[in-house]
Structure 1
Amino acid sequence: MKQTECTTILVGKKASIDGSTMIARSEDGGRTIVPEAFKVVMPNDQPQHYESVISHQKIDDSDLLPDPLRYTSAPDASNENGIWAAAGINSDNVAMTATETITTNSRIQGIDPLLEKGGLGEEDFVTLTLPYIHSAQEGVERVGYLLEKYGTYEMNGMAFSDKDEIWYLETIGGHHWAARRIPDDAYVIAPNRLNIDEFYFETPGFMASNDLQDLIEEYHLNPDEPNQYNLRHIFGSSTIKDAHYNNPRAWYVHRYFDPDFDGQPGDQDQPFITYPKHKISVEDIKFLESSHYQDTPFDAYGDQGTPEQKKTFRPIGINRNFETHILQIRNDVPSGIAGVQWLAFGPNTFNSMVPFYTNITTTPASFQTGPKFDLNKIFWLNKLTAQLGDTNFRVYGALEEDFEQKSLAQCHKIQHDTDKEAVNFSGDELQDKLDAANQKMADTVYNNTVELLGNMVKEGHGLMTLKYDLLD
């Protein structure tokens, strides 16, 4: 079973540089490499009968609704442990990312335990939700229904977006849940902890299991003042692990968006809803999803800290990044080109994102990863550049910066040209146009990555330990 430990970033439409909504997540795994792919699921390919591979939970056919929508996904390449669709945008321009592994505590587990048999998990949620929803709020309602009916065996957070709204949902115990709409002018950083803090029942912008408030009162779960609900305090954790593994990631993001942000990396009560000092771009999100505490003593590649400090906190960019996405719904273009799934595979310190249009019928071959090592696939190529780059970041990091800026600029140019040309197309012709643009961007980034690898080999030639020269 794959355990993903991710980092989620959400950006409301008034907090983004171009008025789009953006929901992003790095899909991280454990010590075993988990190859990820990029696929389009057509309505006829959506399962008509469903059983989870991990839990063997069967879904009633009546809950696999008629007329599913087409959607993109980033599934595991092997399918050994199920689909794990991870993230995508459907043909109604509704996006979903699932899931962020989060924390819990013994109090709620003693009341509504996680299931030991059956139930749904990260393997299932996108496949059972994204093709059936027509708005971000419908995503919350759909997952809430599934959780209450089938339950879950793990704690997870997930996000939904459309052109106007972003909602973030967290599972609570085996059958409960809560969700909050993210304000349009705010951003969220959600590491692997229960993240929702202030919560107002029966208030617009907040949704939860019908009995959640009664459950809090009945079992005396609220440690704060009466009628003041902080779900992180009630259902989450505040542990030493949080102080080293989770909270520092939030601290670094807050510090990036607000240099005057007050606090320490391990602080337990860092805010869930936060307001940036400047408009947020895709490049900002990519930098943060690649970050490793640059310009602090905690940077594993830096020269400020001691060896102990460099290992103190878990960074966002890490060797266990296997797939990272930014799901963008744009508001300044026609609906046929509004959905963009920015996608990168492998460790984020040595890759570049590609802005794939999602109104498509196929994906580029280099992003259709197979489970075996294959340098024709961008996933495996990125893994190679990252592992080589990690041997001497001071030398190879500068090459990566040039590569990423070049790749993003070229993709932006292709996207701008395609946006302008797309107004003359519709239906199948538009999809063919977008398929071609996606292929061009995938080829561009693949070729740039090969060039990066070649430049790294050239730079590294003289740095090898196994060398001998009479002039040395």
Structure 2
Amino acid sequence: MNLMKQTECTTILVGKNASLDGSTIIARSEDGGRNIIPEKFEVVMPDKQPKHYQSVISHQKIDDDDLLDNPLRYTGAPEASGDNGVWGAAGINSENVAMTATETITTNPRIQGIDPLLTKGGIGEEDFVTLTLPYLHSALDGVKRVGYLLEKYGTYEMNGMAFADKNEIWYLESIGGHHWIARRIPDDAYVVAPNRLNIDEFHFDSDGFMSDQNLKELIDEYHLNPDPDGYNMRHIFGSSTIKDAHYNNPRAWYVHNFFNPEFGGKPGDQNQPFICHANRKISIEDIKWVESSHYQDTPYDAYGDQGTPAQKKTFRPIGINRNFETHILQIRNDVPAKFAGVQWLAFGPNTFNSMVPFYTNVTTTPASFQTTPKFNLNKIFWLNKLAAQLGDTNFRVYGELETDFEQKSLAQCHKIQHDTDKRATNFAGKDLQKELEAANQKMADQVYDNTVELLGNMVDEGHGLMTLKYDLLD
């Protein structure tokens, strides 16, 4: 099976009482491999939702009865080419239910020997958003829907995904070929989930925890639980490898210490907690900074001056050249439901981009965010890729320019959003959607122009730093 996977993501979840403004927030950087995977921003209208579905990668056909009647409108951030399927990534539907899928996670040979991942058929990251988001009326609906699909069709990969409505957040992880677990995130908590199986403490038959019906019996029958008391799903179904210690755990460690400086510990620690509580309310800017982080102020920062060359390559950062799309899905509780859903979106490496807070009660998206598969500087995806690759040549010089650009862009977007929120209370229906679409366009245009300005400033600063130069005054 040819798996064109985006395998390198980092998920952040923030409960409504842990966020700065009382929103539920689910976020993820969608990363890929060595090849560039262009992503776009779109709205899927109900009449465009497929009535018949077959996966491109696995060729799995979905029964028509499972493509429910009356699908909802929803946003998505799929691959631009569509050659490998949809890969919808993340979005918010017209009922203000958000979904991000998926976080590629780890497993172990014990569960693979009992319920192997499929080698033929099954559903995966390519399919989950398309088959789930248009049919959800609550976050809990997302858990039930995906659980049903996993049990019926199976999967060829291990994945984590999150669902949110205005009240709650649920995080689900697939187990082997057909099993799954899910946990409700406490309202006052946050979660960082890198590419490992993340759910630890688990209580069967308790509020806030769900799984397939036979999972507890499977654990007991096959003697899978290594702990004398309770159930820790990471110990039972996950991994604890050298790769985890270098690739996954350090990302969680860095986020924990950002939100809780007293956390301490070591980057490779295998038992870092799933449910955490920050020492302050978490803002959108906090999440963007975390998703852009590269171990600043530690010896492990590739751009820093503290560590040795070997230390700078020791751990995989969150912000990386393979960030292709990053989203922060926000369901707000301090505004009317008709414009409460906001999909913050950025393309390209997070070290040199800015988030844009797009309203999701719309029928179209700005043209600059409708990415073309091939290089095109009219599209923000490609402009951000160019800025990041130029900025990477001398982060000490260009990094401050990026900071100024991002601060300016976020401030302008916040201002447009505040003004639009005030006006939008007076609109409804199609008139409201036109108002929100106009605001989205204004924010997209502003950030595009700011990115062009950033590139110009980088060219000005870099002119005198070129190696290929000869000055009579040198």
Query: Shared topology, TM-score over 0.5?
Result: yes
Cα deviation, residue 2, structure 1:
2.5
In structure 1, what is the Cα distance between the partners aligned to 2:265 and 2:297? 16
User: In the alignment, is residue 196 of structure 1 matched against residue 199 of structure 2?
Assistant: yes
In structure 2, what is the Cα distance between the partners aligned to 1:156 and 1:434? 33
Paired residue for 1:222?
225
Any conservation in 2 of the 1:74–1:87 contact (CA below 8 Å)?
yes
SS at match of 1:17: coil
Paired residue for 1:175?
178
Letter in 1 for 2:92: I
SS at match of 1:153: coil
Show CA shifts across 1:217-236 (max 9, x none): 0000000014x000000000
Paired residue for 1:240?
242
Mapping 1:9-408, distance limit 5 Å: 9-226=12-229, 228-408=230-410
Show CA shifts across 1:105-163 (max 9, x none): 00000000000000000000000000001000000000000000000000000000000
RMSD of aligned Cα (Å): 0.4
In structure 2, what is the Cα distance between the partners aligned to 1:104 and 1:343? 30
Letter in 1 for 2:85: G
Letter in 1 for 2:5: Q
In structure 2, what is the Cα distance between the partners aligned to 1:348 and 1:108? 35
In structure 2, what is the Cα distance between the partners aligned to 1:365 and 1:35? 15
Show CA shifts across 1:199-229 (max 9, x none): 0000000000100000000000000014x00
SS at match of 2:101: strand
Cα deviation, residue 188, structure 1:
0.1
Paired residue for 1:457?
459
In structure 2, what is the Cα distance between the partners aligned to 1:51 and 1:183? 36
In structure 2, what is the Cα distance between the partners aligned to 1:444 and 1:297? 36
Cα deviation, residue 49, structure 1:
0.1
In structure 2, what is the Cα distance between the partners aligned to 1:118 and 1:143? 16
Cα deviation, residue 3, structure 1:
2.0
Show CA shifts across 1:37-67 (max 9, x none): 0000000000000000000000000000000
In structure 1, what is the Cα distance between the partners aligned to 2:72 and 2:50? 12
SS at match of 1:294: coil
Any conservation in 2 of the 1:2–1:29 contact (CA below 8 Å)?
no
In structure 1, what is the Cα distance between the partners aligned to 2:265 and 2:144? 36
Cα deviation, residue 289, structure 1:
0.2
Paired residue for 2:468?
466
Unmatched tracts of structure 2, length 5 or more: none
SS at match of 2:258: helix
Any conservation in 2 of the 1:2–1:30 contact (CA below 8 Å)?
no
In structure 2, what is the Cα distance between the partners aligned to 1:221 and 1:263? 28
In structure 2, what is the Cα distance between the partners aligned to 1:257 and 1:348? 19
Aligned residues: 471
Letter in 2 for 1:67: N
Letter in 2 for 1:462: G
Cα deviation, residue 264, structure 1:
0.4
Cα deviation, residue 464, structure 1:
0.1
Any conservation in 2 of the 1:199–1:231 contact (CA below 8 Å)?
yes
In structure 1, what is the Cα distance between the partners aligned to 2:425 and 2:131? 33
SS at match of 1:408: helix
In structure 2, what is the Cα distance between the partners aligned to 1:172 and 1:80? 28
Any conservation in 2 of the 1:25–1:326 contact (CA below 8 Å)?
yes
Return structure 1 stretches of 4+ with deviation > 3 angstroms: none
SS at match of 1:307: coil
Cα deviation, residue 262, structure 1:
2.6
In structure 2, what is the Cα distance between the partners aligned to 1:296 and 1:258? 16
Letter in 2 for 1:149: K
Cα deviation, residue 353, structure 1:
0.3
User: In the alignment, is residue 430 of structure 1 matched against residue 432 of structure 2?
Assistant: yes
In structure 2, what is the Cα distance between the partners aligned to 1:2 and 1:49? 22
SS at match of 2:248: helix
SS at match of 2:310: helix
In structure 1, what is the Cα distance between the partners aligned to 2:45 and 2:228? 50
Letter in 2 for 1:352: S
Letter in 2 for 1:126: V
In structure 2, what is the Cα distance between the partners aligned to 1:455 and 1:336? 39
Show CA shifts across 1:411-470 (max 9, x none): 000000000000110000000000000000000000000000000000000000000011
Paired residue for 2:420?
418
Show CA shifts across 1:291-329 (max 9, x none): 000000000000000000000000000000000000000
Task: Give the share of equivalent positions with the same residue, in percent.
Answer: 81
Show CA shifts across 1:172-211 (max 9, x none): 0000000000000000000000000000000000000100
Unmatched tracts of structure 1, length 5 or more: none
